[in-house]
Structure 1
Amino acid sequence: MRVGRARLAPRESNAQEICMKRLSATLALALLSLSAGHAMAEGAPKLDVARSCKEAGDFGGGGDAKLAFKGCMQDENDAFAQLQRDWSKYKPETRSTCIAQGISPMPSYVEILTCIEMYDNVGALNRRGAPTQPLGASPAGAPAAPPVQPDATATPK
């Protein structure tokens, strides 16, 4: 009787590959957090966004993958330039949180920049004392939207 590793079915192999990618991202995040203080002083982190853009282009759903890649890289380069220019203006805790979010599962300067902008906007609202409310709620003093009435002609299933 032969004892050894069984050949994995394609689905199992794909699941292992995803697991390994997540593990790699987690390790990268851990290493990044260890050197966060150093990275914070130097500016925005250097990321391999070309891989992310290639995969996004391949996943594009039938469009021109080369055009999608080119557009993605332009967006990433623009976001990186803005991050570099404004890096010292961002709070260290916001930078750290958003770097962690922007490197996993796929590295993206656009994700980091969007995260920072959202943190800044929420902080500005909180400083002005604007009350937070659930998504879809009417602002204070505004009339509430009327409830949606079921269609009288619809037949129940």
Structure 2
Amino acid sequence: MKVALLSLAMMGGQFTIPVSDRVPDLNVEATCKATVATDKEMGLDLPQSYEDCMRDENNALQQLNILWLQNSDTLRSQCEGEATAGGSDSYVDLLTCMQMADWAKSPPSAPKLRGASKNRSKL
């Protein structure tokens, strides 16, 4: 199993903690600053503010703290790679990746539709 370990021996403890068992520390501040600058350059009518961007990232982090360990190491690693690709770290992207993977595993079942079928009383 490919899990990096952080030794607490350096801090006086004798325990190890799997690094992958916690949400990665992402530099979302830089991403939010870049997003604000890009929105300004593009002249968007409703650009996202830095504060709104950080609020979204922090909300996503809170949700990730709850669902992180409910997913496999493989999925966590894959989604972390996607959320940090191109140097723009985002908890929102990480959360979205994990939610989409979860949805793909068990998509909601579609209700049976009867419509105007001549055979609807047989359903």
TM-score range normalised by the length of the shorter chain: 0.5 to 0.7
Equivalent position of 2:33 in the other structure: 54
CA distance in 2, matches of 1:122, 1:110: 18
CA distance in 2, matches of 1:117, 1:86: 9
Whether 1:82 aligns to 2:82 is no
Equivalent position of 2:91 in the other structure: 109
CA distance in 2, matches of 1:69, 1:118: 26
Q: Is the 8 A contact 1:58 1:65 kept in 2?
A: no
Where is the strand percentage greater, Structure 1 or Structure 2?
A: 2
Provide the alpha-carbon RMSD of the alignment. Answer: 3.4
CA distance in 2, matches of 1:65, 1:53: 15
Q: Which runs of 5+ in 1 are unaligned?
A: 1-32, 131-141, 143-157
Q: Which amino acid is 2:18 matched to?
A: H
> In the comparison of the two structures, how many residue pairs are matched?
100
TM-score relative to the length of structure 1? 0.53
Q: CA deviation at 1:86?
A: 1.7
Equivalent position of 2:103 in the other structure: 121
Q: CA deviation at 1:39?
A: 2.3
Q: CA deviation at 1:87?
A: 1.3
1:44 and 1:64, CA in 2 relative to 1: closer, same or farther beyond 3 A?
farther
Detail structure 1 runs of 4+ shifted over 6 Å in the superposition. Answer: none
TM-score relative to the length of structure 2? 0.66
